[in-house]
Each structure stands twice: as C-alpha cells, then as structure tokens.
C-alpha cells in the first residue's frame, strides 16, 4: 500500500465526500473511488459505507484512519529531515547535559564552534540515566553527560571529573566554618526521580540516619532561591555554585565528604563524525588540565 493511497483515503474521510475529495486532490472521482475500492479489497474489509446520498466510515475504517494519519505525518516528517540532510553538510550535534554542567559546556561549545563555524547544535537536559541510555541507543542524541556510570553493553561511559557536593547557605550563616555536618539541618533537595536525590538518600543511608527534608524542588536554581528566603539549606554540586548566580550565598564543604563523578556517554554502535569526536576530546582535555 502506498502513501498516496493513504492520503486519498484521509481526504475522503475529511471531506466526507468522494466528489469534494477528488476536487481537492485534483483527480477524477472514478479514479478516487477505484483507489479506495482496491484498498478495501487488499485489506479484506470495508472502510466506508456508501449510499446514494452520503458516505459513513466503519469501525475498522476509523482505526485504519487513525493509523493512516500517523503514518502520513511520520512520512512527511521523515522526508523533510532527509532534505535537511541534503541542505546541511554538517548535521547538528545533539548533546544531553545536566543543569550543573551548563556553564562549562557552553564554554566548550563556543570553542568547538570557533573551530567548526558551520556546525549547529541541539542541547537538551536529561537527568535520568536510564532515559539518557535509551536516547543514545536509539541514536536520538550523539553524546550525553550523567552523574553516574551507565552500565549498558551498548554505552561507553567515560569519567570526566569528580564533583563535591556542598551545603548552600545564606552569607551570614556559618561564616567561619570550613566544613559542616548536614545530619540534622533542614534540607532543600531535588525530587525523588533525580539522580542527585539518590546520592543524598544513599549518603544518609550510609550514615544510618534520616535526612531532615523540608522541601523538594525540580532545579538547583529553585533551591538557591528558597535558601535566600531562609527556607532551609540546599545540597548542590560545587560546580553549580562556582558557575551560576549564587551571590549572597555561601558554600560549605559537607562533613563527611559527599561526592559524585560526571561521565560523558557515547553509543558503541554509532559511527561518529570527526566533529562529534572533537567535542568529546575537548570535554576530556578541559577537565584533564584542571
């Protein structure tokens, strides 16, 4: 069955008329009628019921119509993407990042673009390692950052750097302390689905204690804002504190130390362009020299 046949059927249903559909498609009505009849013969069931006055769609015809609309839409989107490949000799690099890595990633993307002026990029935030792995396996993205190793046979997970967690406090609190225990402090933490929250939960499990969580948030930026309002203290990566708008706030080393490793992840099955490999190398070189 051809896409054209599906488009003909969709037009008949939308117009609720063979005559109107034929006019819209710029074909003869007998030709359109014959096409729909052949589709029904091939399928082995009726799509439309015809009378001398009007037409109606059968129950199976409704299901077929819904699938046909989806297939035609996907077809046209695919064709459009194929033409995009012809227009661009350097398809955009798709990279998944974490909120706390946005600053240094932007520096490296700028450097990479200076070396590859024709290159385009798409930057996404993917916080769930499982979702990140699926995106890499499905070739939806080229590379992705995670704050835990991804253990999958089709993923290469390369450690980039270690990042301490710190306690974010107002500037006038704990000014003279270099380290601090967070065992009993009111904490602002990420929601359950985030990997940082898992790190915090594991940390307290190791201490055989329960965290005093007073608020759960989506992003570090929101946590910082609530710290400013005196709602509690936030546990955040040091890289975020050093890179973003955390003025009027102080970061104190947590005791005992709490740390994570940032990984850059690639698909084993993908043939990467030199431009993508250059970006991966930039990320590795940036952290190796620090």
Instruction: Report pTM.
Output: 0.69
Report the alpha-carbon distance of residue 49 to residue 85 in Å, rounded.
43
> pLDDT tens digits for 274-284?
999 999 999 99
Decide: 180 and 253 in contact? Cβ < 8 Å: yes
**Average pLDDT across the chain, whole number:** 90
Confidence of residue 245 (pLDDT cuts 50, 70, 90): low
* Structure token pair of residue 157: 């997970």
> pLDDT tens digits for 38-47?
999 999 999 9
Q: Is the pLDDT of residue 15 over 70?
A: yes
Report the alpha-carbon distance of residue 145 to residue 135 in Å, rounded.
12
> pLDDT tens digits for 195-243?
899 999 999 999 999 999 999 999 888 999 999 999 999 999 988 887 7
Of the candidates 66, 93, 54, 68, the one whose C-alpha atom is nearest the C-alpha of residue 5 is 68
């Amino acid at each position: 069955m051809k896409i054209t046949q599906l488009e003909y059927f969709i037009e008949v249903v939308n117009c609720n008329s063979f005559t109107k559909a034929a006019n819209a498609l710029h074909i003869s009505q007998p030709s359109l009628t014959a096409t729909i009849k052949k589709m029904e013969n091939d399928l082995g069931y009726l799509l439309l019921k015809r009378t001398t006055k009007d037409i109606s769609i059968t129950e199976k015809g409704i299901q077929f119509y819904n699938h046909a609309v989806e297939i035609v839409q996907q077809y046209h989107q695919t064709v459009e993407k194929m033409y995009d490949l012809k227009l661009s000799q350097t398809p955009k690099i798709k990279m998944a990042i974490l909120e706390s890595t946005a600053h240094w990633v932007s520096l490296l993307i700028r450097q990479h673009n200076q070396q590859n002026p024709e290159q385009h990029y798409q930057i996404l935030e993917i916080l769930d390692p499982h979702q990140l792995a699926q995106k890499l396996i499905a070739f939806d993205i080229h590379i992705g950052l995670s704050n835990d190793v991804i253990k999958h046979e089709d993923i290469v997970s390369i450690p980039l750097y270690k990042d301490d967690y710190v306690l974010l406090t107002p500037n006038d609190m704990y000014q003279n302390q270099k380290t601090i225990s967070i065992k009993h402090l009111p904490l602002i933490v990420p929601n359950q689905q985030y990997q940082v929250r898992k790190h915090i939960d594991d940390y307290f499990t190791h201490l055989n204690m329960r965290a005093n969580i007073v608020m759960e948030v989506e992003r570090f930026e929101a946590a910082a804002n609530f710290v400013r309002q005196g709602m509690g203290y936030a546990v955040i990566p040091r890289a975020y504190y050093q890179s973003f708008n955390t003025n009027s706030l102080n970061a104190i080393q947590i005791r005992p130390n709490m740390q994570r490793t940032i990984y850059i992840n690639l698909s084993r099955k993908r043939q990467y362009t030199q431009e993508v490999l250059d970006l991966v190398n930039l990320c590795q070189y940036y952290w190796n020299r620090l």
